[in-house]
Structure 1
Amino acid sequence: MVSTLEVLTVVVVGLMVRGEFSVAFVINPILNGLPDDSTQLGRAHGGRMLGVLMPFWYIGSLVLSAVWAIAAWQHPGTGLVVIGAALLIVSVIMSLLLLVPINNRGKTWTPENRPEDWKEQMNRWDRFHYVRVAVLIAAFALLVAALP
């Protein structure tokens, strides 16, 4: 049972990391290369779509990591799982305090109602997101390292 939980956790966290990495280094650079109206509309649409999915993925990853740590408490590598879970908590806190407020504004914007500083706000979101991706990669690496 524990090995199934370990694999499931690593797969779920790994897919989340892949998704967030893709947003940072593939999707947003593509959108940023488009004309301003298309950039803004694409990012707003992405914010709406991913804003619905990601909370479940983040919380699910955290719950799976916590259950793994509890189930394997006496096994070697549990410390790595605990640190990985702590990093997932950091990513959730970062999301709630730094990224979600910007995303909640940006997902409602249109070319007609966006603020003058919309690009600066999107750039701020990107910078915070790069840090979050680094935290997620570290959490994922720790979880993989904890596998027997």
Structure 2
Amino acid sequence: MLNALEVFTTVAIGVMVGVEFSVAFVMNPIFSGLPDDANQQARSHGGRMLGAAMPFWYIGSLVLLGIWTGFAWGDAGTGLLVGAGALLLLSIVMSILLLVPINNRGKNWTAENRPADWKEQMHRWDRYHYVRVAVLVVAFALLAAALV
């Protein structure tokens, strides 16, 4: 049972980290190369789509990791699991305080109602997101290290 939980948690968190990495280093650079209207539409659509899914994914991942940590408490690698959990929690706090407010504004923008500084706001979101991705990658590395 514990092995299945470890695998499921690792896959769930690993895919989440991959999605966030892809947003930072693949999708948003592609969007930024598009004309302004298409760039803003793509970012708004992504904000709506991922903004709806990611809260469940982040919280669910943290819960799964918490359950795994509880079952493995006292075993070798527990400290790594606790560290990964702390970093996942940090990424959630960062999301709520820094990224979600920008995303909530941007997901409703259109060519007709976007503010003059929309690109600056998207660049700010990107900078915060790079930091969040780094935190998530380290959390995933700790999680992977706990497996071995």
Normalized against structure 2, the TM-score is what?
0.99
Which portions of structure 1, spanning 4 or more consecutive aligned residues, are displaced by more than 2 angstroms? none
Q: What runs of 5+ residues in structure 2 fail to find an aligned partner?
A: none
Q: Distance in 1 between matches of 2:74 and 2:3?
A: 14
Deviation at 1:2, TM superposition (A): 1.2
Q: Quick one: percent identity of the two aligned structures?
A: 68
**Counterparts of 1:101-140 in structure 2 under 5 Å?**
101-140=101-140
Deviation at 1:71, TM superposition (A): 0.6
Q: Does residue 18 of structure 1 match 2:18?
A: yes
Q: What runs of 5+ residues in structure 1 fail to find an aligned partner?
A: none
Name 2:46's counterpart in structure 1: 46
Q: Distance in 2 between matches of 1:74 and 1:84?
A: 16
How many residue pairs get aligned? The number is 148
Look up the equivalent residue of 1:115 and give its one-letter code: P
Name 2:36's counterpart in structure 1: 36
Name 1:77's counterpart in structure 2: 77
Q: Distance in 2 between matches of 1:4 and 1:115?
A: 48
Normalized against structure 1, the TM-score is what?
0.99
Q: Distance in 2 between matches of 1:132 and 1:58?
A: 12
State which drifts further: 3-12 or 133-142. 3-12
Q: Distance in 2 between matches of 1:4 and 1:83?
A: 21
